[in-house]
Amino acid sequence: MVYRNEELGDFLMKRAWEVTEDWYKSLDKSESFGVYTSTNLEDVKLLKTQNYEFHRRFFQMFIEEEAKFKEGLEEWLTYLANDAQHLATPVHFIAREFFNLRNQYLKLIKEFVSLNKGKYSEETIELLNQQILDTMDEVVTWFMEEHHKTSTVRLEGQQEMINELSSPVIKLNSNVGLLPLVGDIDTARAKLILEKTLKQCSDKRINHLLIDLSGVVMIDTMVAHQIFQIIDALSLIGVKTTLSGIRPEIAQTAVQLGLGFDNVSVVSTLSNAIDASLIQV
């Protein structure tokens, strides 16, 4: 239950911009990055405006009905959590500033009570302070949840883009494509490569795919098996495969698994694979 007091609400509203200026002066601007460190005048103006708007929404708790107040505050927190500058700021920096604002608000409550000496009981004063504390705790929780949700969506999008770029089938001519594999390949990535490669070869009408493994640093038995599954799947849709750049440890793993190279063309280097495929064309 929110304790409403329009007199206090009006007092706080009139001090909102002053609170913003005091807060900005108190910021630790020595940090290397984040929304609080920019010296660009437009960035500073935006930051102050965002801070002021937060005060305005927060102070509505003493004026508006609880449901309306919380709706307005959550709407603003959602905006902040999706703001590019705030997303680029370590979340513990942001939490720290929420708590700094909380301390400013408690000082304002103390000042308001002092200006209205004898008008409010100790019980009411304690209720006002507790309301500030409880609401700010909710604010931090709301913000963290929304920030985490937005960050997760962005990371998933970035990961999807990385996955797309990590297994590109490059068309060399009308019939020949190249799949250069780079970095570590785990089981999950191997499955993704299988799906993407089959689709890309079909879409690009490729009938001869060069798979270059010279950039693959490490491979385990499961992944080696999956690479041969890719080759088998490609043969089923009429795509001939040539492997190049097979490291000795990868060849050894394949032999230990009993995986044969009978149905696949193998050359030592990518340049040899390209030369051979173009000659055949």
Whole-Å CA distances, 129 to 60, 166, 278:
15, 54, 78
Higher pLDDT, residue 67 or 275: 67
Residue 21: its pLDDT value, please? 96
Helix axis angle for 16-26 and 41-59, nearest 10°, is 130
Average pLDDT rounded to a whole number, residues 102-109: 96
Delineate the domains of the chain, giving CATH numbers in brackets: 6-164 (1.10.490.10), 170-280 (3.30.750.24)
- 10 Å Cβ neighbour count for 165? 8
Q: Does residue 35 contact residue 85 with C-beta atoms inside 8 Å?
A: yes
- The average pLDDT across 75-99 equals 90
Per the CB < 8 A criterion, the answer to whether 15 and 108 are in contact is yes
Is the pLDDT assigned to residue 262 strictly greater than 80?
A: no
Q: CB-based burial of residue 40 (10 Å sphere; 0-12 exposed, 13-18 middle, 19+ buried)?
A: exposed
Determine the residue type at 106: L
* 263 band by pLDDT with thresholds 50, 70 and 90: low
113-126 confidence digits (pLDDT tens)? 999 998 999 999 99
Is residue 197 within 8 Å of residue 180, measured between CB atoms? no
- For residue 116, the 8-state DSSP code is T
Higher pLDDT, 274 or 47: 47
β-pair partners for 171 = 177
Whether the CB-CB separation of 210 and 242 falls below 8 Å is answered with yes
**pLDDT (mean) for 228-233:** 84
Q: What is the rounded CA–CA span in Å between residue 179 and residue 170?
A: 6
Instruction: Let me know if 212 is exposed, middle or buried by CB neighbors in 10 A (0-12, 13-18, 19+).
Output: buried
The angle at the Cα of 141, spanning 138 to 144, to the nearest 5 degrees, equals: 150
* Beta bridge pairs of residue 178: 170, 210
Band of pLDDT at residue 159, cut at 50, 70 and 90? low
The predicted structure's pLDDT at residue 281: 47
For the ranges 26-40, 97-111, 179-193, the one whose mean pLDDT is highest:
97-111
Its pTM stands at 0.62
Confidence of residue 102 (pLDDT cuts 50, 70, 90): very high
Res. 166: pLDDT tops 60: no
Percentage with pLDDT > 90 across the chain = 39
Please give the pLDDT value at position 46: 95
> What are the distances in angstroms from CA 182 to CA 95, 190, 218, 243?
39, 12, 10, 14
How much is the average pLDDT of 94-108? Answer: 95
Structure tokens that stand for 32 in this block: 């290397």
pLDDT at 8 over 80: yes
For the chain, the straight-line distance linking the first and the last C-alpha, in angstroms and rounded, comes to: 78
Three-state SS for 58? helix
